[in-house]
Amino acid sequence: DVKVTQSSRYLVKRTGEKVFLECVQDMDHENMFWYRQDPGLGLRLIYFSYDVKMKEKGDIPEGYSVSREKKERFSLILESASTNQTSMYLCASSPELGFGTGPHSNQPQHFGDGTRLSIL
């Protein structure tokens, strides 16, 4: 089974701190994703990466950056944490973005258990 591991289940940080959320997957997937989940807003895509050192902005990239130095690891960085970044953060990976029509397209995303981040 694919395992996506997020480094912390719960994290409390202070306003203005630089925060790192780490995600590791063990299935050699090309694609990795960071979402935040808020009540009433569903899951919103922050950034995704389709290869090492490659990244693409999602719907809400402001205030965030990402790093993908190794294929298995995708880090989300809050450059200067603010209270409106208090949320549940979910990492996911997949072998295919889903744009193609070949035999390896249409693959599901595999999610970690999430990090509940509180910014005080």
Partner 1 sequence: SQQGEEDPQALSIQEGENATMNCSYKTSINNLQWYRQNSGRGLVHLILIRSNEREKHSGRLRVTLDTSKKSSSLLITASRAADTASYFCATTNMLTFGGGTRLMVKP
Task: Summarize as ranges the residues that interact with partner 1 (CB under 8 A).
Answer: 4, 33, 35, 40-45, 48, 58-59, 90, 92, 97-101, 105-106, 108-114, 116
Q: Considering the complex, what minimum distance in angstroms separates the CB of residue 80 from partner 1?
A: 26
Nearer to partner 1, 17 or 113 (CB): 113
Both tokens of 23, joined, read 């995600």
Q: Considering the complex, what minimum distance in angstroms separates the CB of residue 51 from partner 1?
A: 16
Q: Considering the complex, what minimum distance in angstroms separates the CB of residue 19 from partner 1?
A: 19
Q: Are 80 and 16 in contact (CB under 8 A)?
A: yes
Q: Are 1 and 25 in contact (CB under 8 A)?
A: no
Instruction: Please state, in angstroms and rounded to a whole number, the distance separating the CA atoms of residues 20 and 17.
Output: 10
Strand, helix or coil for residue 83: helix
Nearest alpha carbon to residue 68 among 56, 58, 78: 56
